[in-house]
Amino acid sequence: MTRFTPAELEAARDRLVPDVVADGLHVLFCGINPGLMTAATGHHFARPGNRFWPVLHLSGFTPRLLKPSEQRELLSYGLGITNVVARASARADELSAEEYREGGRLLAEKVTRLQPRWLAVVGVTAYRAAFDDKKARVGPQERTIGASRVWVLPNPSGLNAHWTAATMAEEFARLRVAAEQG
């Protein structure tokens, strides 16, 4: 893996990372916003401590552990990745409430256009802020966006100590089963 200097990471601030999307996906995963490592590499969930890729594999979404640089392979499994807020930052707490709300509005437009079976937002706090749903919990939501159902997953960041990789994989697997059932 490429090592970046602090200056190189800082230079990635506010950079945009292209979505990995297609029409009619089974699941469109939605991160909070790109971190600086993701922005520097151009690959989603690229920070070494982030558990997204291992949990995706442990939950059965992918037949093997993918590297962030292999993110386009997700499309062959009917999976994609986007973010609530497009701009990169060092921490999610650098985002304003307005950025979350506008991100939720733009995400709803994207989901309406792409029509994934499920939108899976990774991070209950981000979901609550983006969709003004203070009572949301991890799991399937009552909200739909067009024909797309919504599921909130735990944030796979290494900073989220409330969830282990194993318990996250169980929740991701619940979504996988629901997505397979249609």
Catalytic residues: 33, 44
As a whole number of angstroms, the distance between CA 57 and CA 40 comes to: 24
3-state secondary structure of 8: helix
- Spell out a b/e string for 150-159, using b for 16 or more CB atoms within 10 Å of the CB, else e: bbbbbbbbee
As a whole number of angstroms, the distance between CA 117 and CA 27 comes to: 6
For 142, other C-beta atoms within 10 Å of its C-beta total 8
Backbone angles phi, psi at 141, to 5 degrees: -105, 160
**Closest by Cα among 102, 79, 46 to 176:** 79
Q: Which residues contact 159 (CB under 8 A, 6 or more apart)?
A: 49
Extract the tokens encoding 134: 């203070």
Determine the distance from the C-alpha atom of residue 116 to the mean position of all C-alpha atoms in its chain, rounded to a whole number: 14
